[in-house]
Amino acid sequence: MKVDYFEVTLDKGIDEPYLGGDPIKGIIEMMCSKQVRINGLIVRLTGVAETGWRSRQDDLPYESRHTFMDEQIDLTTTIAEHCTDDFELHEGKHCVEFEGRIPLDVLSSVERENHGSIRYMCTALMAIPEDGDTEVVSEKTFRVFSLLNLDAPYLHDKSLVTEEEEVTGCCGRRKGAIIATMQIEQIGVMPGMTSKISLTVENKTKKRKKWMRKKENHECVLLSLCQQLDFVAVNRNDPMLIDRKSITIAVESHVRIFFLN
C-alpha cells in the first residue's frame, strides 16, 4: 500500500455533540510513500438506528436496522489539486478540509445495551484502482442532539397534572387523601435550558383532635426529569412479528422537604 497514513478528524470531539442543522467541519490527513493513482475522495455522514434483543416471552431474536441519514460530500475536485494530470496523488503529506451540514430532522444519539442505539459516523473514502479497486477508509463517530422547534405554539403551553392518593389508617379505615398538583411552565425544553416546575400538595386527611398533641409531619418529594425511550424490532425469521421495549431514564432529580399540617 502506497498510502501509509489516512485519517479523518472532526472539529468536535465525541463529548461535544452537534445539533440538528449545525455545520460539521473536518480535515483528512494522508501520507503517501509513493505517487499513487486514485479515483476520487468522498466523505459520508451517516445516521443509523438499530434495535436488537431476545424476547423473554417467546425466546426469539428481534432486530431492526434503518439508515435515516446518508449525506455525501464529494471532494474529488479538491483532491485533484494534489494530483498530476493523470490523477495520481503526489508523494508526501496532504491535508484536505471539508464542511457539511447535519439535517434538521435528525434523531438524538442513543446507546442502550440490549435495547438499541442511534449512531452517527463520518467516513472518508479514497478509491485506489491500481490496488485492485480497493478503498482507503477512515471513520469517526460523533454525537447529535435533535433540534426542537421552539417556535411551535404548542411548545409554549403549560402542562398540568393532578394525582390523588388515598390515606388509610388502622384496620384499613379511610382517613382521607393527599392531592398533588404539578405544573410545568412550558412543554418545549432544549438541553441547557431551565424549566420552572411548581408542585402543590394538599392534605385532605381528617384533622387530629384539638386536645391531641400535634407533631410536625415532615415529608419528602422527589422531582425527576425523565426521558422515555421506545424501541421497536422485528423478528429475525418472521418480519410480521414485532416486539417493543421501553426504558425510562432519570436525567436530573431534586429532593424537596415540606410539612403536612
Q: Where in the chain is the domain with CATH 2.60.40.640?
A: 3-145
> What pLDDT is recorded for position 257?
67
Look up cell 449512531; give the residue: 119
Model pLDDT, residue 255: 76
Provide the mean pLDDT of the chain. Answer: 86
The answer to whether the beta carbons of residues 253 and 222 sit under 8 Å apart is yes
Q: Report the share of the chain in percent with pLDDT over 70.
A: 89
pLDDT, residue 223, reads: 80
Confidence of residue 59 (pLDDT cuts 50, 70, 90): confident
Q: Which pLDDT score, from 0 to 100, does residue 149 have? A: 65
CATH of 3-145, one of 1.10.287.370, 2.60.40.640, 2.30.30.230, 3.90.1170.50: 2.60.40.640
What residues have CB less than 8 Å from 222, skipping those under 6 apart? 253, 254, 255
> Does residue 211 register a pLDDT over 60?
no
Sign of the Cα torsion 105, 189, 160, 232 reads positive
Query: pTM of the prediction?
Result: 0.73
